[in-house]
Amino acid sequence: MLAVFFFVAATQLFLWAYFLKDALRPADRRIAAPEAPASPVSVIVCFHNEESSLWKCLREILQQNYPAGFELLAVNDNSTDGSAEIARQIAAQDTRVRILHPGPTRPGKKDALAFGIARARYEFLLLTDADCYPTTKNWVSHMTKPLHQGADVALGLGLYNATDLNGPIAWQNFEAKYVALKYMGFARRGLPYMGVGRNLAYTKSFFRRAGGLEAHADLPGGDDDLLIAGAAGDTVVARVTHHDSATLSVPAESWAAFFRQRRRHQSTGWRYRPVHQVLLGLLALSHGLFFLLGLLLLFTSWYWLALLMYLIRFFFVFRAYRVFYFPFHEGGGKPRMVSGLLYLIIPVLVAWYDALVGPFYLYLALVSLLPARRW
């Protein structure tokens, strides 16, 4: 048991130190091309029965401060509620809004998204979901800046507007941060494997070179992660880590809805490239075994080793997560000043939820093996 614990602890320390610890450090300095004059942008929002959130989503986008201009494509994916009427009301007030109707579509939003991209007027595409909204009026500027500098893809942060400290809402809030650390950290090391459709930008040229969404058209999901996972060759994938560039969305209100959502997302993982599957599998497996074996060692004479490994690992874990709670300023690496009480509470919350991540991802790995009809 001791030898296995050493192996999983070493694996965890390497993965956190190399991939996750500095996942949100600004910025992609490898994009060395000078910034070009700003170009117009096509912002695309696909919606299906989103009348509770669509108004806020579209209005917040229309308030963006982006002098070069943008169009807002609202793609109605066969809504049966009042979503289409909300979109029509907003379009009547602002000529930048275009409402598109793709007709019959398959499950998921791929058909609607591809329809919107085919009709976009501009080369730069910025995507979000109808239940999301940008945190600031500079979202379009931040997310498209890497495209102006020569990137093909810009990965953004899609978080939740959750403040509750209990139940499924708090857990979703934390788990979204963990997902962000993974895809941003892997992209930072030149191994991009996913983005989130809640906040993603790319060029129309990249979309065409990637073959659009046809390579995984048989799956309802994958319009964001499988498209990015297939990126290879000369594709330049940038990270957008500024705290003003994020989008927020409403979390699922129940455990059942959340687990249903996460199982659906997990179902695309087997289509990732082998290197991504191996690294992500090692990350999840070693995370779970680290806490399981460490707990068992606490009842042996090697308890001090388990505690020491935990403290060393937590140094990297907290360094990664603290950026969410104490965001970096635009020009430097110093965190914002916060109250002393938060400095005490946040490490405790991070430690607690971090311990739950391991068994949660082991669970996802198991249910991903089940046929979809049993979900």
DSSP structure string for 259-273: HHHHHHHHTTGGGS-
Q: How many helices (H) and strands (E) does the chain have?
A: 12, 10
Inter-residue contact 336 to 327 (CB < 8 Å):
yes
pLDDT at position 27, please? 65
CA 220 – CA 229 distance, rounded (Å): 16
Higher pLDDT, 259 or 18: 18
Q: What is the pTM of this model?
A: 0.90
| Topology of domain 41-179+192-254, CATH | Spore Coat Polysaccharide Biosynthesis Protein SpsA; Chain A (3.90.550)
pLDDT at position 135, please? 92
Instruction: For strands 153-155 and 237-239, give the pairing.
Output: parallel
Strand order through the sheet with 97-100: 97-100, 70-76, 41-47, 124-129, 200-203, 153-155, 237-239
CA 203 – CA 326 distance, rounded (Å): 32
Where are the alpha helices (H) located in the chain, listed in sequence order?
Answer: 2-15, 54-62, 83-93, 110-118, 139-148, 167-188, 204-209, 225-229, 255-266, 274-297, 303-325, 340-367
Rounded mean pLDDT of the chain? 87
**pLDDT band (50, 70, 90) for residue 266:** low
**pLDDT band (50, 70, 90) for residue 286:** very high
Q: 60-111, pLDDT tens digit by residue?
A: 999 999 999 999 999 999 999 999 999 999 999 999 999 999 999 888 888 9
Q: 25-54, pLDDT tens digit by residue?
A: 886 554 444 555 689 999 999 999 999 999
Segments making up each domain of the chain, as ranges: 2-21+274-374, 41-179+192-254
pLDDT at position 334, please? 43
